Structure 1
Amino acid sequence: MDRRRFLRTLLSGATALAVAPALLRSEHAFAGDPARFAAGLREQPWLAGWKSVQSETLGPATVPLEGRLPAGFAGTLYRNGPAWTERAGFRYEHWFDGDGMVHGWRFNGDGTLSHHARMVATPKFTREQKAGRFLYPTAGTSIPDMQPIRNNDDANTANTSVTMINGRLFALSEAGSAFELDPDELTTLGPVTWRPDLAAIPFSAHPLVDRDGSMWNFGSISMMGGNGLVVWHLGRDGALASADVLETPVPGYLHSFAMTDRHLVFALIPFRYLEGKGAFFERLRFRQDQPLRVAVVDKATPSKAQWFETDFAAIYHFGDASERDGRITVRAVQHLDVEEARSPMKAAMSGDGHADVHGGKGPLRDLVLDLRSGKAQWEDTGVAGIEFPVFDARTPSRDAARLYAPIHADGSTAPYFSRIGAFDLARGRRQVHDYGRDVLVEEHLFVPWPGSTRPDDGWLVGTLLDAAKGRSGIAVLDARRVDAGPLAQAWLPYTVPLGFHGHFAAR
């Protein structure tokens, strides 16, 4: 079967699989209780990170910067995350379910910062706004009286990350199309079809930019009941270069992937479905008795892979991947509590501010793949309690990169991250800045210094939520002196829900 015909067949199968769950009616539609969450929020102010917005827009607000913004730092941090989680007395139970809101944190160059945010106007969101209730299937909560959908984009929340390709801004999720937004107004322009026969095929939330400026991504069919990945390659101009199907031996869950100069690395987490009805994550159970299957794909032949097996691991995010002497080393954050991995911060979503949460405490480990022997093994790094790792993509692919990540610390008010760290594992060095026990810390992105090509010459920019003072904020740090704390920061007069991932667009 030729490639285009295979993709058309895949699309028709994916559409049918997407429609099928929408026709199911769960026997146990356990909605969260908005009143219970509100009561928890009054007692535990840090739960504001999981509070539902009630307006399609936030801001605009302009606030002064504290400290001094470094020379050369200018642009906008775009952030995305689940924001609309309650309707008509029904609250989503799973953090991944909320409709996406994209934020623009703009550094104005005059000592001020402006913030505004807007809901992504997907078909799902706009129809549910009109109906005044939730209508369509979600990743982790059963919805009573669900309406049928034609394809994945009818249920697309566009709530996980945001990226920019050739000046065009896109909101991304795991199981549907990219939605294009106006980069200034954040208004929704609509879903993107890279080629007519690829309409609604998943374009996942963690694309990676190659050294030539082109972009790689994947679309997982396993989440919809089948096997296989679509491997996307876009040119630096944003046009589709190729879309290949990588057949997989078993279904497996994956949220992101890793890349070296030559290879893409996909790790399939084994899972099974419970019998009965319900949303994807309600029925999913990770199989710790099964191995993690890892595909190493040569960029020159995206439809073929060298397969490895290693010990089970539940992974959402990877750090860097390096390749030297026929061995690839991939850094991954493991979740030791598979139930917490299946539904991160579930207690917070329900308004339980006293639950013992184990998420965010897993180890950072090296996955070593020997391309010659076909063997794979895990190695410890000695780092634990981090998530959302990033690194300077200018680091040579032969070398291990310095990682930057939020850190979970015992004694914090919330069972979430309260510090930011820099980890140079090759030299055994780390730097940590503690924002304070009441501050919740989100992903910090690396921004290179203009004019410098030396790895780790740059800044970190990341968002915060100060629970004690009821405000959200942003901070800029020197990536080489993280322990010195923010060079500049700004605070809004309101809080915004915690999100997942972002993109910094330099001006």
Structure 2
Amino acid sequence: MTLAPSRDSGSPTGSAAAGSASGRSGAAYDRADWASAFRNVLGELDRVPLNAVRGTIPPDLAGTLYRNGPGRLERGGHWLHHPFDGDGMITALRFEAGQAVLTNRFVRTEGWLEEEAAGRFLYRGVFGSQKPGGLLANAFDLRMKNIANTHVVRLGDQLLALWEASSPHALDPDTLETRGLTLLDGVLGKGEAFSAHPRFDPGHHGEPRMVTFGVKAGPRSTIRLMEFAASGPRAGQLLADRHDSVAGFAFLHDFAITPRYAVFLQNAVAFNPLPFVAGLKGAAQCLASKPGEQGHFLIVPRPGATAAGDSAAEPTAPIVVPAPEGFVFHHLNAFEDAATGELVVDSIFYDDFPSIDPGVDFRAVDFDTLPAGRLVRTRIDLEHRTAASTVLEERCCEFAMVNPERQGLDARYGWTAVAECERGNAPLQAIEKLDLHTGERRVWSAAPRGFVSEPVMVPRPATATSAPRAEDDGWVLNLVWNGARCASDLVILHAADLSEQAVLELPLAIPYGLHGSWAPLG
């Protein structure tokens, strides 16, 4: 695989591979290369040293990149219907003094242990995976296996493997050994939903916080907003907690924060549980957009905030504002515009809820039939409760982030995974840096045979003698599926210009993952 250098203005950097599949955009990729990443992880490694095959590991990159994602997609010859139903596997890449080591380990959930012993799947999956045995084996079996496969974050002396439909699993941050389910010192009830998308407040309220939520969905839904101390001796201590009841079924995967608000987008979707109960579909396949209906922003005041037009010190009700048409999984960031008084939210919008129907092999999915994600900026007038949106990026994108020190503030730069083609839907093969103030773009591409994952931006560490750092001073870390060698690479890019710092070929084939995080040393 040739990993091309960055180019300006979002120009494609890879050429089409022979025998590749073409979408409506005309861009090409090799479907066999893309599909080759869907496999089982066959081993667990412990602190295996890694060497850069190109470039050098920056000596001041010090910490651990944690990644989570499905690592088990098949048992006993039976393949899952959707990779998001796969058991969680954590990868840890630890950097210190210009050296790197790799550790990976499956999360020892109760369901994983049961199925390992049985040698077959014993549970249905939320995204449509069925147990062997056909309809009779699946109908009326409403049990859910906590697969702990969506995100992984460090909170105090614990590493949390997250799956938003239930409780987190606590792991040892160094060995990745599973300590077991955690209710966070009694904060959570048994089996209570706990988001897989926490946001880390860098210190808007005097100290770093992990802000997160849980949802109990139904005809009326309850959103629980929680804030935990994220550093020091109080790390993991609950600092704030509130519950809000909202009308309608709330499907919420992500949210955004500002110093004063937690911002949710309640998509206009309905849930019909009957096909799930009957064993015909997974729970997520029972979601469908409501034609002609509009979603809503739910703007929940954080502790100490005052809503527009509300003189109370602690307002009790969320602000509800109609949202633009479309469906949102992920947000890039949000901030309060001091010049206009507006709340600004940057989100990845799809024209409709993307789903894989029963009977469709996810390895053979037709990208042209799925909506492409676009980065959209919404400006919300809190006083009049109106919103106006503009498209920031038409290119198909997902998994966006800002410098974590600018979380909740007016960030100038965003880094996101994008398709190689300029228009239409296709696998994610490039990393884009977008100047959110000017619209300038830079793109690093892994095409034609590489496929990227969520970029993680790591700011360069500050020192007592260092000059003030630029917002884009640091690195972007990315796990890339290398179709040429059917294994994974860790690519380190300079965050400022996306030039290549180092490429590490991993002795491991890691399937496409979901989310990850960076934990600095110390």
TM-score (structure 1 length as normaliser): 0.83
Q: 2:241 aligns with which of 220, 243, 248?
A: 243
Q: Aligned to 2:121, what secondary structure does the other structure show? A: coil
Aligned residue number for residue 282 of structure 2: 279
Matches within 5 A, 1:486-497: 486-497=500-511
Q: 2:225 aligns with which of 225, 231, 250?
A: 231
**Alpha-carbon contact 1:95-1:344 (below 8 Å) kept:** no
Q: 2:326 aligns with which of 296, 308, 313?
A: 313
Matches within 5 A, 1:358-377: 359=370, 361-377=372-388
Residue by residue over 1:350-392, the C-alpha shift from the partner in whole angstroms, topping out at 9 and shown as x without a partner, is 4327x34455732111122111111122222244211100101
Q: 2:210 aligns with which of 204, 210, 215?
A: 215
The answer to whether 1:116 aligns with 2:96 is: no
CA–CA distance in structure 1, aligned partners of residues 518 and 84 of structure 2: 23
Paired residue type of 2:285: E
CA–CA distance in structure 1, aligned partners of residues 152 and 342 of structure 2: 32
- Post-superposition offset of 1:302: 8.0
Q: Bigger shift: 178-187 or 447-456?
A: 447-456
CA–CA distance in structure 2, aligned partners of residues 185 and 478 of structure 1: 29
Paired residue type of 2:318: A
Q: Aligned to 1:394, what secondary structure does the other structure show? A: helix
Aligned residue number for residue 85 of structure 1: 73
**Alpha-carbon contact 2:349-2:374 (below 8 Å) kept:** yes
Residue by residue over 1:185-216, the C-alpha shift from the partner in whole angstroms, topping out at 9 and shown as x without a partner, is 11111111132662321111110111221111
**Alpha-carbon contact 1:392-1:401 (below 8 Å) kept:** no
Q: 2:317 aligns with which of 301, 304, 307?
A: 304
Residue by residue over 1:450-505, the C-alpha shift from the partner in whole angstroms, topping out at 9 and shown as x without a partner, is 115542222111111110222211111111111x2x11110024421110111112
Work out which structure has the larger RCO, using CA pairs closer than 8 Å and 6 or more positions apart in sequence.
2
**Alpha-carbon contact 1:320-1:401 (below 8 Å) kept:** no
Q: 2:88 aligns with which of 75, 100, 105?
A: 100
Q: Aligned to 1:387, what secondary structure does the other structure show? A: strand
Q: Bigger shift: 446-455 or 473-482?
A: 446-455
**Alpha-carbon contact 2:376-2:391 (below 8 Å) kept:** yes
CA–CA distance in structure 2, aligned partners of residues 359 and 488 of structure 1: 34
Q: Aligned to 2:263, what secondary structure does the other structure show? A: strand
Aligned residue number for residue 171 of structure 1: 161
The answer to whether 1:189 aligns with 2:179 is: yes
**Alpha-carbon contact 1:281-1:343 (below 8 Å) kept:** no
- Post-superposition offset of 1:81: 0.5
Matches within 5 A, 1:334-483: 334-338=349-353, 341-343=354-356, 350-352=362-364, 355-357=366-368, 359=370, 361-395=372-406, 397=408, 399-410=410-421, 415-451=426-462, 452=468, 454-482=470-498
Alpha-carbon distance change, 455 to 345 in structure 1, aligned in 2, over 3 angstroms = farther
**Alpha-carbon contact 2:345-2:379 (below 8 Å) kept:** yes
CA–CA distance in structure 2, aligned partners of residues 227 and 391 of structure 1: 30
Alpha-carbon distance change, 397 to 99 in structure 1, aligned in 2, over 3 angstroms = closer
Aligned residue number for residue 48 of structure 1: 36
CA–CA distance in structure 1, aligned partners of residues 188 and 45 of structure 2: 37
Paired residue type of 2:55: G
Alpha-carbon distance change, 314 to 411 in structure 1, aligned in 2, over 3 angstroms = closer
Q: Aligned to 1:351, what secondary structure does the other structure show? A: helix
Aligned residue number for residue 257 of structure 2: 259
Q: Aligned to 1:46, what secondary structure does the other structure show? A: helix
Aligned residue number for residue 517 of structure 2: 503
TM-score (structure 2 length as normaliser): 0.80
- Post-superposition offset of 1:344: 10
Aligned residue number for residue 7 of structure 1: none
Q: Aligned to 2:34, what secondary structure does the other structure show? A: helix
- Post-superposition offset of 1:95: 2.6
CA–CA distance in structure 1, aligned partners of residues 481 and 282 of structure 2: 30
**Alpha-carbon contact 2:260-2:301 (below 8 Å) kept:** yes
Aligned residue number for residue 27 of structure 1: none
**Alpha-carbon contact 1:135-1:146 (below 8 Å) kept:** no
- Post-superposition offset of 1:288: 3.8
**Alpha-carbon contact 2:395-2:421 (below 8 Å) kept:** no
CA–CA distance in structure 2, aligned partners of residues 299 and 106 of structure 1: 34
Alpha-carbon distance change, 142 to 358 in structure 1, aligned in 2, over 3 angstroms = closer
Q: Could you list the runs of 5+ residues in structure 2 that have no partner in the other structure? A: 1-29, 132-136, 304-313, 463-467
- Answer 1 or 2: which has greater helix percent: 1
Residue by residue over 1:140-171, the C-alpha shift from the partner in whole angstroms, topping out at 9 and shown as x without a partner, is 12534359999x8x621110011111242111
**Alpha-carbon contact 2:128-2:358 (below 8 Å) kept:** no
- Post-superposition offset of 1:394: 2.2
Alpha-carbon distance change, 172 to 147 in structure 1, aligned in 2, over 3 angstroms = farther
Residue by residue over 1:110-158, the C-alpha shift from the partner in whole angstroms, topping out at 9 and shown as x without a partner, is 54x32221111111111122222222232112534359999x8x62111
Q: Aligned to 1:69, what secondary structure does the other structure show? A: coil
- Post-superposition offset of 1:246: 1.2
CA–CA distance in structure 1, aligned partners of residues 41 and 357 of structure 2: 20
CA–CA distance in structure 2, aligned partners of residues 464 and 344 of structure 1: 27
Q: Aligned to 2:120, what secondary structure does the other structure show? A: coil
CA–CA distance in structure 1, aligned partners of residues 408 and 95 of structure 2: 32
Paired residue type of 1:297: V
Aligned residue number for residue 32 of structure 1: none
CA–CA distance in structure 1, aligned partners of residues 520 and 210 of structure 2: 18
Q: Aligned to 2:496, what secondary structure does the other structure show? A: helix
CA–CA distance in structure 2, aligned partners of residues 359 and 302 of structure 1: 40
Alpha-carbon distance change, 360 to 166 in structure 1, aligned in 2, over 3 angstroms = farther
- Post-superposition offset of 1:50: 1.9
CA–CA distance in structure 1, aligned partners of residues 124 and 82 of structure 2: 12
Aligned residue number for residue 124 of structure 2: 137
**Alpha-carbon contact 1:247-1:303 (below 8 Å) kept:** no
- Post-superposition offset of 1:303: 5.3
Aligned residue number for residue 55 of structure 2: 67
Q: Could you list the runs of 5+ residues in structure 1 that have no partner in the other structure? A: 1-41
Q: Aligned to 1:227, what secondary structure does the other structure show? A: strand
Q: 2:341 aligns with which of 306, 309, 326?
A: 326
**Alpha-carbon contact 2:61-2:96 (below 8 Å) kept:** no
- Post-superposition offset of 1:172: 0.6
Paired residue type of 1:138: G
Q: 2:112 aligns with which of 125, 129, 135?
A: 125
Residue by residue over 1:55-75, the C-alpha shift from the partner in whole angstroms, topping out at 9 and shown as x without a partner, is 5x2565433113122231122
**Alpha-carbon contact 2:458-2:518 (below 8 Å) kept:** yes
- Post-superposition offset of 1:232: 1.4
- Post-superposition offset of 1:410: 2.8
**CA RMSD between the two structures:** 2.8
Count of matched residue pairs? 454
Paired residue type of 2:34: W
